[in-house]
Structure 1
Amino acid sequence: MIKYFNRKSKKYEIEKVAGGTYLNWTYSSPCGMKLLELIIKKKVFSKLYGNFCNSKYSKKKISQFIKDFNIDINEFRENYKNFRCFNDFFSRSLKDTARPIDSNKNILISPGDGRLMVYENIDLNKIVQIKGYTYSLFDLIDDPKIAVKFKNGTCLILRLCPTDYHRFHFIDSGICESTHKIKGNYYSVNPIALKNIANLFCKNKREWSIFHSDNFSDILYVEVGATCVGSIIQTYLPEGTIKKGDEKGYFKFGGSTVILFFEQNKVTIDKDLLKQSNLGYETKILMGETIGTKFTY
């Protein structure tokens, strides 16, 4: 059971997990863990399922998925009946009106839809993965010179569920460097898995880049793949001019994670988000939603 805080209703809710029974069995039973290590975490497993989600045979899953998880089809830029396969639906674009963005340069927005955890004054060697589990930023990006820039900074962990909109965006105007790719496994990023696999983010396939933000200084973007994520697709133009809210990329099928690191004294996170994170709860967030402000002395 995964409980999260709904910011709009100001109530705690239970997440309806796609494949919840399978996840619990895989990450909580000896037999499941053995199968996980032998097959499920491997690239070939996710690639095969990704190929199925790219095929016409997967199209029949779309209608039932929308019904089971009460997904709002009115937000879709394209009629879901026109999607050729499940991955077309999964990586769908939304209407501009579906995710309004505050253009105020001092407002910090969420880079995507998902469940958000935030941490301030981070220890680079003990960044919280989930309560009781930590990892090192040095191990996450394998670049000590970049990692040290974010000492005592702020970390945002946005977990995208399979039911979420799966495109991620820039939180400010600026210029983004090229993407660095790190090979890895394909563990689930669901809290069920995070509680059972130490250093999970540092073990999974991931990509990272430095975004030179106009108003929040340098930001480290990290995208983490997961079970059945066929690909992490970067759609931005490296070194090109970026506007606030522009698309950075998208994930193909599967739950995934976007992690942002800010330098010290660059952002002030909204108090309600900090409170829930300190209590150990994720907060449900939409892309473009205000989550903080520019730090002022």
Structure 2
Amino acid sequence: MSTLRPLHSNDIKRPDEQNKHGISMEYIEYIDRETSTLCKEKVPGERWLKWLYHNPFGKIALHSVVKNKFLSAWYGHKMDSPQSCAKIPDFVKNLGIDMDEATRTMEDYTSFNDFFIRKLKPEARPVDDESESIVSPADGKVMAFERIDQLGSFFVKGSKFSLDNFLQDKELSTKYSDGSLLIFRLAPADYHRFHFPANGHISATTQISGEYYSVSPYAVKNKLDIYWKNKREFSTLKTETSGNILLCEVGATMVGAIIQNYTPESEIKKGMEKGYFKFGGSTVIMLLEKGKNQIDKDILQNTAKGYETSIKMGERIATACT
């Protein structure tokens, strides 16, 4: 499990003390929302990620092999084999995964991917039932920006999120250009099904082909364009109280596939399952229209200090403006 320690003001390192706040070359820190403590994240393949994204020879391997679809597809297929079940016990133990939350025991899965996309008991992820709340669509770590042009507070100063490149849809990029952006990062240890953040009418999915770069902070802290270079799929949730919410699922290195299992052009309820990622860490990006919602202050404050906030699917992250 992650090591916890009390969070004090002198724990918050300034940019000149640490490489982009909570993301250093040595480790990743985030704020646990439930306990308000500063935690160090345990990252599978951490040395490998550092080598790939911060070593000249690693970058050669990254651009020639790792980012390509065939490697992720091959590894995803390998994780579908019955032999991959042998990886489950150590994975659970090393990353402190709570199997009491799952609907099945470790012995009941037919492959590592079967375990990876495990379902949880409904009581394990209660969904905030306030009519005007927006909830997290996934487990993971979240960053939130009231304005899309504020990303310099977390990434390299002056970085801008290119909606034109990300959505490849001029009308949509104009619609959300002055809106809010939330980035939900799913690590390999996280529950990997994603859900709807509010009640509403959901559109069909638009798919955009791309690469398979890692979405780990080691990768994206200096390369924001990974989000619009990677394979991604987006849809629009039309709500009565929160405007139109754009939901985008982003693939990454070793993600075998993004599976959408909802019915397009249908009415859905907050907390209903939308789909899941096969093996690998992944990202869900949410865009909110300007002036429609207020993101929870603790998430905004943590992001402004350079820290992600841990989150569970179903927790409130924002409230509709009344």
TM-score normalised by L of structure 1 = 0.96
In the alignment, the residues of structure 1 paired with residue 42 and residue 252 of structure 2 have an alpha-carbon distance, to the nearest angstrom, of 18
Partner of residue 201, structure 1: 227
| Cα RMSD after superposing both structures | 1.3
In the alignment, the residues of structure 2 paired with residue 201 and residue 122 of structure 1 have an alpha-carbon distance, to the nearest angstrom, of 14
Partner of residue 51, structure 2: 25
Partner of residue 223, structure 1: 249
Match of 1:265, SS state, is coil
In the alignment, the residues of structure 2 paired with residue 102 and residue 198 of structure 1 have an alpha-carbon distance, to the nearest angstrom, of 31
- Is the 2:234–2:247 Cα contact (8 Å) retained in structure 1? yes
Matched, 1:6 2:27: no
- Is the 2:148–2:160 Cα contact (8 Å) retained in structure 1? no
Match of 1:27, SS state, is helix
Per-residue CA deviation, residues 93-115 of structure 1 (Å, 9 max, x unaligned), is 10000000122111221111010
Match of 2:298, SS state, is helix
Structure 1 residue 192 displacement after superposition: 0.3
Partner of residue 213, structure 2: 187
Partner of residue 82, structure 1: 108
Matched, 1:135 2:182: no
In the alignment, the residues of structure 2 paired with residue 243 and residue 201 of structure 1 have an alpha-carbon distance, to the nearest angstrom, of 28
Q: 2:141 aligns with which of 100, 108, 115?
A: 115
Partner of residue 315, structure 2: 289
Q: 1:16 aligns with which of 33, 39, 42?
A: 42
Partner of residue 23, structure 2: none
Structure 1: stretches of 5+ with no match in the other structure: none
Structure 1 residue 122 displacement after superposition: 2.4
- Is the 1:111–1:287 Cα contact (8 Å) retained in structure 2? yes
Amino acid at match of 1:187: Y
How many residues in Structure 1 have an aligned counterpart in Structure 2? 294
Which runs of structure 1 show a deviation greater than 3 angstroms over 4 or more consecutive aligned residues? 126-130
Q: 1:198 to 1:216 in 2, by over 3 A?
A: closer
Partner of residue 178, structure 1: 204
Per-residue CA deviation, residues 144-187 of structure 1 (Å, 9 max, x unaligned), is 10111113211110000000000111011111111011111100
Amino acid at match of 1:257: T
Matched, 1:257 2:257: no
Aligned pairs for 1:42-191 (under 5 A) are 42-123=68-149, 130-132=154-156, 133-191=159-217
- Is the 2:85–2:111 Cα contact (8 Å) retained in structure 1? yes
TM-score normalised by L of structure 2 = 0.89
Structure 1 residue 130 displacement after superposition: 4.5
